[in-house]
Structure 1
Amino acid sequence: MTTRTLPGPRERLLEAAKELTYKQGVGVGVDALLKAANVARRSLYEHFGGKDGLITEVLRLSAAEDEAGYQEAMRAAGDDPRRRLLGVFDWLGEVIEEPEFRGCRYLAAELALADPDHPGHDVIRRYRERVHDLLERELRELDHPQPAHAADQLLLLVDGTLAVGAIRRDTHPAAGARQLAEQILGDPRPSTRRS
């Protein structure tokens, strides 16, 4: 006979907060979080120091998962940096089509966290820097003349794709963003073969 271990209060709080803050925003009430996690208020303060700490940890964990998603999408597109960068938009198209998609967790949190000193802002800033660096590395591999600037532009397309995908997914924002990304990337490398 095997015993199944149930998640502890910390894990239940994280799972509940991850789900509820995505569906309802970071302004979701503490009572709703505690009820969904089936934990006492004391557990929130013991494990996270309060709601702000819980929100920050959810953002940190989500950022790690989403960064891995970008990396996996690029790996799946093969070795060519151009295909890898365009593969990001193919992947975002799939993400938007998921029934539970509600937009970008990070854009929503940035807008909702009114306190500029909330630690969640720093987590989001560092996550965006890592995604930017990921894009910029591929642009350097592509020998793009302005890799940092082009990475800024691609990140703007990513943000727009996720924002529009939440409210007008029938407009296929990822496909449109992919076409714009192709323009940012420029013409594919010319063939070195001579005719």
Structure 2
Amino acid sequence: MSTSVKPGPRERLLLAAQELTYSQGVGVGVDALLKGAGVARRSLYEHFGGKDGLIAEVLRRSTAEDVERYRSTMDAAGEDPRARLLAVVDRLGLIAADPDFHGCRYLAADLALTDPEHPGHEVTRAYRRTLHGLFTDEFLALGHARPGFAADQMLILVDGLLAVGATRPGVEPAAAARDLAEHIIDAGLA
């Protein structure tokens, strides 16, 4: 007979916070986070220094997972940079159409965290820099005339697709986003 080991307080806090901050936003109360994790308040302060530290760590953890999903989606599309970029848009369109979709956790965090010095903002900025780099690499491989600018446009498109998917029930932004992505890609090709 095998026994399963229950995660420790730090991991339980991270798991609960990752779920609750996505479903309820970063404004979710400390008491809800503690209850969801089944830990005492002391654990929050010992492991993260408080809610701000926990939010930043949840964002950091989520970015690593999400960047890997972007890479996997692109890799599954093959070697053609155009197909790789469009695969991202197609995948995000499916995600945004899911009834349990609550929007982009990074955009939501940036909008909700009103303190410009909150540690979560650096995490979201680093995440966007990473995505910008992934997109820029694809545009470079395509021979796009303005790879950095096209990557900027793709980031705006991604934010828009995810925002519409979360805020306008019944609207499916995937087709419009794909059309815009094709325009961004093709506009810089000779």
Aligned to 2:32: 32
Per-residue CA distance 1:80-115 (angstroms, 9 max, x = gap): 000000110111012113332100101110011111
Aligned to 1:146: 146
Question: Are the equivalent residues in 2 in contact too, given 1:25–1:109 (CA < 8 A)?
Answer: yes
Aligned to 1:104: 104
Aligned to 2:85: 85
User: Structure 1 residues 169, 71: closer, same or farther in 2, change over 3 A?
Assistant: farther
Q: TM (normalized to structure 2)?
A: 0.96
Aligned to 1:65: 65
Question: Are the equivalent residues in 1 in contact too, given 2:97–2:172 (CA < 8 A)?
Answer: no
User: Structure 1 residues 140, 169: closer, same or farther in 2, change over 3 A?
Assistant: farther
Indicate the structure (1 or 2) with the bigger Cα radius of gyration: 1
Following TM superposition, by how much is the alpha carbon of 1:3 offset from its aligned partner in structure 2, in angstroms?
Answer: 1.5
Following TM superposition, by how much is the alpha carbon of 1:170 offset from its aligned partner in structure 2, in angstroms?
Answer: 2.8
Distance 1:188 1:140 in 2: 11
Distance 1:162 1:58 in 2: 19
Amino acid at match of 1:24: Q
Following TM superposition, by how much is the alpha carbon of 1:175 offset from its aligned partner in structure 2, in angstroms?
Answer: 1.8
User: Structure 1 residues 160, 3: closer, same or farther in 2, change over 3 A?
Assistant: same
Q: TM (normalized to structure 1)?
A: 0.93
Equivalent residue runs for 1:40-189 within 5 Å: 40-186=40-186
Unpaired segments ≥5 residues, structure 2: none
Following TM superposition, by how much is the alpha carbon of 1:137 offset from its aligned partner in structure 2, in angstroms?
Answer: 0.2
Unpaired segments ≥5 residues, structure 1: 191-195
Distance 2:117 2:181 in 1: 34
Following TM superposition, by how much is the alpha carbon of 1:69 offset from its aligned partner in structure 2, in angstroms?
Answer: 1.0
Aligned to 1:5: 5
Following TM superposition, by how much is the alpha carbon of 1:169 offset from its aligned partner in structure 2, in angstroms?
Answer: 4.8
4+ residue runs over 3 A deviation: 187-190
Distance 2:189 2:45 in 1: 55
Aligned to 2:15: 15
Cα RMSD of the aligned pairs, angstroms, is: 1.5
Following TM superposition, by how much is the alpha carbon of 1:168 offset from its aligned partner in structure 2, in angstroms?
Answer: 2.2
Aligned residue-pair number: 190
Question: Are the equivalent residues in 2 in contact too, given 1:82–1:188 (CA < 8 A)?
Answer: no
